[in-house]
Amino acid sequence: MSSLIVSQIPVINFSDENLKPSTETWFSASQIMRSALEANGCFYAMSNKVSAELHNSVLALMEELFDLPLETKRQKTSDKPLHGYYEQSPLAPLYESVGIDFDVGPVNKEAVQKFANIMWPTGYNQFCETMNQYAKLLEEMDQTAKRLLFDAYGLDKRHCDSLLESTSYMLRSFKYHIPQNNESNCGLHDHTDASYFTILHQNNVRGVQVKLRSGEWIDVDPLPSLFLFVAGDALKVWSNDRIQACEHKVIIKEKMKRRSMGLFSFNNKMVQIQEELIDEDHPKRYKSFDHYEYLRFREKFPTEAPGPPVFFRCDVIMQDERT
């Protein structure tokens, strides 16, 4: 298995043609992934499946999207927290983002179309084709990662199938405004995501930093073929605390346009511990809960960190069941 370490985060080659279940390559990748997630809650997937042409088209379309009038963008609302439009705010003045939600079920063009119709009522086919194609490639990576992870813990494939069947995705675009002279360069305060995995794919301007277990913050490399997988609160619960949710933040150090895309995976049923991961050394830590209720809970109960609802911590509300 070709694996290399870029700044302490292992890289797994998702384009390796030998990366197929039951091969040595697969086994070794699954072990690397498991130890990376248990150590620091993140790893890089390297992939050439998103061509430079597709990535550039996505970035250009995002630019058009963010250039729309504020009133138009505000119309992207959602009953689910984190799925709507976030405009620049006093608490996060550099941050702007908007999500395309694939309500229930896999990535599909109809959902992108529904989003595009809000932004461009006369339709925008190229946007729909491109974003759908891009989201599908990230969805495939998410599914491969989950299959690798289930295998790493020796779990039955059917458990993974069942998690994938109840997965809902959200594709989010992030725009960071360049800080003015005396403005802070904090794009997004440190937080964990509520998802199972979030896959982050940056343009060529660095900004995301992850916190290692040692407490050290390190930069995430902005290479077009590198996709950062970040473990979120739901994966922490699923793993019964074997995996920690990865703390990350965004710092805009360069006076350049930073753009990023993220695919978030949620559960449209209940988030629960994988039963096989409960044993004497790992007693049951969490009750099952509805993922979207959890998002609403995070929104209601802020911690001291300022900013939009992404900043709330899970530990406060994930009830301990060690009674």
Ligand X SMILES: O=C(O)CCC(=O)C(=O)O
Contact 278, 240 (CB under 8 A): yes
* Residue 174 partner contact from ligand X, Fe ion, none using kind-dependent CB cut-offs of 5 to 8 Å: ligand X
Largest CA distance in the chain: 59
Q: Could you say whether residue 186 binds ligand X (CB under 6 A)?
A: no
Q: Which of residues 166-205 bind Fe ion (CB under 5 A)?
A: 193
Report in angstroms how near the CB of residue 154 gets to Fe ion at its nearest. 30
* Residue 145 partner contact from ligand X, Fe ion, none using kind-dependent CB cut-offs of 5 to 8 Å: none
Q: Which of residues 240-259 bind ligand X (CB under 6 A)?
A: 248, 250
Report in angstroms how near the CB of residue 241 gets to ligand X at its nearest. 21
Closer CB to ligand X, residue 94 or residue 243? 94
Contact 304, 316 (CB under 8 A): no
- Please tell me the distance from the alpha carbon of residue 121 to that of residue 199, in angstroms, as a whole number: 29
Report in angstroms how near the CB of residue 206 gets to ligand X at its nearest. 10
Which of 40, 144, 173, 202 lies at the binding interface for ligand X (CB under 6 A)?
A: 202
- Please tell me the distance from the alpha carbon of residue 271 to that of residue 233, in angstroms, as a whole number: 10
Which of 12, 50, 128, 188 lies at the binding interface for ligand X (CB under 6 A)?
A: 188
Q: Which of residues 206-225 bind ligand X (CB under 6 A)?
A: 208
- Please tell me the distance from the alpha carbon of residue 318 to that of residue 46, in angstroms, as a whole number: 33
Report in angstroms how near the CB of residue 314 gets to ligand X at its nearest. 13
Contact 237, 318 (CB under 8 A): yes
Q: Which stretch binds ligand X (CB under 6 A): 29-37, 148-156, 177-185, 200-208?
A: 200-208
Report in angstroms how near the CB of residue 191 gets to Fe ion at its nearest. 6
Q: Where are the beta strands (DSSP E) in 103-148?
A: none
Q: Using CB atoms, what's the residue nearest to ligand X?
A: 260
Which of 58, 92, 128, 310 lies at the binding interface for ligand X (CB under 6 A)?
A: 310
Report in angstroms how near the CB of residue 192 gets to ligand X at its nearest. 9
Q: Could you say whether residue 113 binds ligand X (CB under 6 A)?
A: no
Which of 101, 151, 193, 233 lies at the binding interface for ligand X (CB under 6 A)?
A: 193
Q: Could you say whether residue 260 binds ligand X (CB under 6 A)?
A: yes
Distance of CA 209 to the CA centre of its chain: 14
Q: Give SS3 for 203.
A: coil
- Please tell me the distance from the alpha carbon of residue 49 to that of residue 30, in angstroms, as a whole number: 20
For the sheet containing 248-251, what is the strand order? Answer: 186-191, 248-251, 208-211, 217-219
Beta bridge partners of 96: 175
Closer CB to Fe ion, residue 116 or residue 251? 251
CA atoms within 13 A on the CB side of 53: 1
Ramachandran sector of residue 166 (left: φ over 0; alpha: ψ -120 to 50; beta: rest): alpha
- Please tell me the distance from the alpha carbon of residue 126 to that of residue 290, in angstroms, as a whole number: 35
Residues that bind ligand X (CB under 6 A): 174, 188, 193, 200, 202, 208, 248, 250, 260, 262, 310
Binding residues for Fe ion (CB under 5 A): 193
